[in-house]
């Protein structure tokens, strides 16, 4: 129990509340929904139409944004309330336009929990996407391969995830405008979208696998012991993103799909020390395949 005199120094940033005689401290939080609406209105004012599909591009995978036709581009630093990425390989731009006749909003880079952003900020772009009227979200990321056969260069359609970050973007007071208090997570990654991805990959002759993605907080790479733990828990690949965005998207009622590029073997399974440069290089090598697969996804979505 925190005595009142001990809580006092924090009252400028927090408020005290009583619960059954216990004294607890709750952090002050500003409502998120008004900030999301303000960002969405800003983008509408810049000519951004309601997208049918949002696409988040992970490390080294930004080439797809170049395929957007009739592109309108806004730097994330210009968007009210939008967090700014500090990581190499994440340009920090929003690109609106069409791909294969489908209206898309492409996030050229993302922000991560490990940069120091609260999880509510990490998922802010996804909530803006939903506020703009999007129906579906396609997440991409780089990941370390755990399962046998997930060698560098392999593309893995994410079937399910393990949230090992240690927090949830939904923590705190729920705002009904953003979604329900207790959203169901039985099927985070939409079976229909996964099927379309598989068909698109087959049509292009791009080999893909399917598996479970485990998200760690980072920024340090995982230890071999942590990788063994993740494997025991059922993970096929590991990374530092994607899961918070997927949770927030399902909270908002979006259909979600996710594609992980295996950029390296995970710690203890690799023959050399892990590095971000390796991740970016793997992304550049796979850029053409990933871009073609995402464009084919857009084309097949337009068929209904």
Based on the residue annotation, tell me whether 174 is a catalytic residue of this protein: no
> Token pair for residue 153?
């260069």
* Residue of 39, 40, 59, 248 marked active site: 59
Would you say 231 and 144 are in contact if contact means Cβ atoms under 8 Å apart?
no
CA 65 – CA 67 distance, rounded (Å): 5
DSSP string, 222-261: PPHHHHHHHHHHT-SEEESSSHHHHHHHHHTT-EEEEEEE
Catalytic residue among 136, 241, 263, 289: 241
Question: Which one of the listed residues 82, 90, 161, 251 is annotated catalytic?
Answer: 90
90 tagged catalytic: yes
Which of 14, 49, 91, 115 is catalytic? The answer is 115
Return d(Cα 53, Cα 255) in angstroms, integer: 9
User: Three-class SS of residue 84?
Assistant: coil
Do the beta carbons of residue 156 and residue 235 sit within 8 Å? no
- Which of 118, 119, 114, 68 minimizes the C-alpha distance to 90? 114
User: Do 161 and 216 touch, CB atoms closer than 8 A?
Assistant: no
Contact 212, 234 (CB under 8 A): yes
**In the 3-class helix/strand/coil scheme, how is 19-45 assigned residue by residue?**
ECCEEEEEECCCCCHHHHHHHHHHHHH
Catalytic residue among 7, 210, 276, 281: 276
Identify whether 189 is a catalytic site residue: no
Q: Whose CA is closest to 129, among 39, 226, 229, 34?
A: 39
Catalytic residue among 138, 240, 248, 258: 240
120, 142, 156, 295: which is the annotated catalytic residue? 142
217: closest CA among 189, 239, 188?
A: 239
291 tagged catalytic: no
**264 labelled catalytic:** yes
Which residue out of 14, 16, 49, 114 is catalytically annotated? 114
Q: Do you know the residue count of the chain?
A: 304
163 catalytic residue (yes or no)? no
Write down the catalytic residue from 98, 112, 117, 251: 112
Is-catalytic flag, 161? no
Q: Is 93 in the active site?
A: no
Q: Structure tokens of 134? A: 């999007």
Give catalytic residue positions. Answer: 59, 90, 112, 114-115, 142, 240-241, 264, 276
């Amino acid at each position: 129990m925190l005595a009142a005199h001990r809580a006092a120094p924090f009252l400028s940033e927090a408020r005290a509340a009583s619960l059954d005689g216990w004294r607890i401290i709750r952090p002050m939080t500003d409502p998120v929904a008004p900030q999301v609406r303000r960002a969405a209105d800003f983008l509408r004012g810049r000519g951004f139409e309601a997208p049918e599909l949002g696409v988040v591009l992970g490390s080294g995978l930004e080439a797809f944004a170049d395929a957007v036709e009739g592109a309108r581009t806004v730097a994330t630093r210009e968007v009210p309330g939008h967090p700014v990425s500090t990581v190499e390989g994440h340009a920090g731009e929003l690109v609106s336009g069409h791909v294969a006749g489908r209206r898309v909003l492409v996030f050229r880079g993302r922000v991560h929990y490990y940069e120091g952003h609260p999880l509510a900020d990490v998922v802010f772009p996804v909530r803006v996407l939903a506020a703009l009227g999007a129906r579906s979200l396609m997440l991409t990321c780089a990941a370390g391969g755990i399962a046998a056969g997930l060698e560098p260069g392999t593309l893995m359609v994410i079937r399910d995830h393990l949230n090992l970050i240690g927090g949830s973007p939904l923590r705190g007071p729920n705002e009904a405008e953003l979604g329900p208090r207790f959203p169901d997570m039985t099927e985070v990654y939409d079976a229909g979208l996964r099927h379309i991805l598989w068909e698109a990959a087959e049509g292009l002759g791009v080999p893909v696998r399917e598996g479970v993605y485990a998200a760690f907080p980072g920024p340090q790479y995982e230890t071999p012991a942590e990788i063994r733990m993740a494997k025991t828990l059922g993970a096929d690949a590991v990374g530092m993103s994607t899961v918070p965005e997927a949770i927030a998207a399902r909270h908002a009622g979006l259909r979600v799909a996710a594609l992980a590029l295996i950029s390296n073997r995970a710690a203890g399974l690799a023959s050399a020390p892990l590095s971000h440069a390796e991740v970016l290089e793997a992304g550049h090598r796979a850029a053409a395949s990933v871009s073609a697969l995402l464009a084919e996804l857009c084309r097949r979505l337009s068929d209904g």
